[in-house]
Chain A
């Protein structure tokens, strides 16, 4: 059912781009990737497989004609195809843009930095807290205001998002399906992110974010979750090293049948990368949290959520636009038990 609708939508999109203003300039990237996961020791029945091979392709397209902007991203995986971003924008000034459409929420650092283009990130896996639609919303459909200012060499950027958030069901959070917007119930929420770069040309950055979402639920006994998330992030580069991390505190107020309940938790990760040559990069990441046990009434709805662990890996630049990665995460502290994960990935960007 999804495929025919998606095909029609893609055809419409291509026609729009092709017949658009002659002055418009279109840039596109295709991100193919193949991931192989080995999880010896995982207990069956938690939705995770011992052996898993997942091919996927992410198509990104952007276009601008004068002050008008367009940005779209479609992710096709073996079992799912989804429109990740579909934004129409207007460039108000050289430093500010207003977008309307489906965009990424401004919670955290990872998702807004790498999106779904695995080739762009050094590691194979994401920190668990940044997983797509669990346990935090990753997409919002509505307005996105981007602005910033430069003073001397430093730069301050801010992003304000206001729009419809996700719905909670048995598979996690389901953001608004813009091809079929009547599916599910979605309520407005707001999130904001501010970042400061001491030198706008360098990658060192410090930032903070806040989000407030009302998340309707179709899970039996749970009507709605009022979620507030606040956190900080930072990234530093020095010589051949790059270190970045983020910490978030999440307060969930669960409106349940019979009684209400609060289920707060916190999570943090830090990733360190070292380029040992132009083609080899070593990396490691540690992630942990507080109140992330199975007794957390909110997190109990996310069977894939991993509470933390440490991992290490290596990335090899196979060519100017292809990379191979190997990653080992021993003793991952998963909400359904502990196990090891060995991962391989080939990823690329075309053209």
Chain B
């Protein structure tokens, strides 16, 4: 009887939760994105496929350097737009993909930055790194070089 009550509560709880609306992607106010690297970096232009390959965890060597991807989560809208338009998946799917890859093969996922100041410092010290920022911000930065331009419709 007690177990039945617990189960009924669990069903009610789960059922109620299932009816809750989940987060929805807003396509409004999206702008172009620039994939950037440090000014002194030897990384040249990156193609759509190369950016995707790097962020999906596959090694890519450019001018003798292994390109290191950095995940910029300082702006949730930027992160979501980048993952959807460049990696062609939802943020949830990308998270699961990265964990699943490490779970199968070992290694480590790309480093995540929640604050842009910390990200800027890292890029400056690690010239083989790339990340992404809004295109309009990239144009104003003299310490960064644009290696790929993502146009969002």
Which residues of A does B touch, CB under 8 Å?
Answer: 25, 27, 29, 36, 38, 51, 60, 62, 64, 69-71, 87, 89, 94, 97, 112-115, 117, 119-120, 146, 200-201, 277-280, 314, 316-318, 320-321, 324, 326, 344, 346, 349
Contacts and interface: CB of A to CB of B under 8 A. Distances in A.
B14 A320 contact: no
Given A70-B106, A317-B22, A344-B14, 18 more contacts: A25-B108, A62-B106, A62-B108, A64-B107, A64-B108, A113-B104, A120-B103, A200-B58, A201-B56, A278-B25, A279-B23, A316-B17, A316-B22, A318-B17, A320-B95, A324-B17, A326-B18, A346-B14
A36 B103 CA distance: 25
B18 A324 contact: yes
Nearest to B17: A324
Interface in B59-113: 59, 90-93, 95-96, 99-100, 102-109
Interface in B1-36: 3, 7, 10-11, 14, 17-18, 22-25
Interface residues of B, number: 33
Contacts, number: 85
A134 to B, nearest CB: 22
Contact of B52 (A69, A112, A146, A201): A201
A340 to B, nearest CB: 15
A278 B100 contact: no
B53 interface: yes
Contacts of A87: 106
Q: What 4 A-B pairs have minimum CB-CB distances, sorted nearest first? A: A279-B22, A71-B106, A62-B106, A278-B90
Contact of B100 (A38, A51, A89, A120): A120
B92 A115 contact: no
B125 interface: no
Given A115-B103, A120-B103, A201-B52, A27 B92 contact: no
A119 B95 CA distance: 11
A38 B56 CA distance: 39
Given A38-B7, A120-B99, A200-B58, A27 B109 contact: yes
Nearest to B59: A94
A346 B17 CA distance: 11
A36 B92 CA distance: 25
B66 to A, nearest CB: 8
Given A94-B59, A279-B92, A201 B103 contact: no
